[in-house]
Structure 1
Amino acid sequence: MSNLVDELKQMIIDVLVLEDLSIQDIDANAPLFGDGLGLDSIDALELGVALKKRYNIQLNAESDETRQHFQSVNSLVALVQSQQA
């Protein structure tokens, strides 16, 4: 599982061009938005597109469930694993 955690952290860094961060800087349990990583809705949109491309995951931007998936790296890992099962 840690490989997927690192993979998703690297994807976040690459997609959002967070050059000053390394995967070690991102806490897998920390919120992606607000006080955590500080992402915004545009970032969420870009991440959603990247997840769709890389893992073929379908997301509904208006869904509360989608918002829950984007809470942390670990919640994204759970989403990817559930979609691949």
Structure 2
Amino acid sequence: MSLENELKELIIKDLKLVDITPEEIKDDDFLFGDEGIGLDSLDAVELVVLLQKHYQVETKDLEESREVFTSVKTLADYVRSKTGAA
């Protein structure tokens, strides 16, 4: 399973999203706002916890976090850059 698909499944499970499947989320879909899958600021906090829990990756800088949490692709790229994951 690709890291992108793993992240999609974790996002749906950990954020308890019931109206969407991993297959419906494109790697470059926006995670936040009306144009994306519709996550909000509380979900952002849960994403931070998800990255720490599953990948031991932290985001400390607010500006960096905005870029990292843009899409599943940017999340996966960030995890790879911090962990060396394929």
Alignment TM-score, normalising by the size of structure 2: 0.90
RMSD: 1.2
Q: Does 1:41 align with 2:41?
A: yes
* Structure-2 residue corresponding to 1:51: 51
Q: Percent identity?
A: 41
Alignment TM-score, normalising by the size of structure 1: 0.91
Unaligned runs of 5+ residues in structure 2 are: none
Question: Partners of 1:21 and 1:46 in 2: how far apart?
Answer: 17
* Structure-1 residue corresponding to 2:67: 68
- The letter of the residue matching 1:84 is T
After superposing on structure 2, the runs of 4+ consecutive aligned residues of structure 1 that deviate more than 4 Å are none
Q: Deviation at 1:20?
A: 2.3
Count how many residue pairs are aligned between Structure 1 and Structure 2. 83
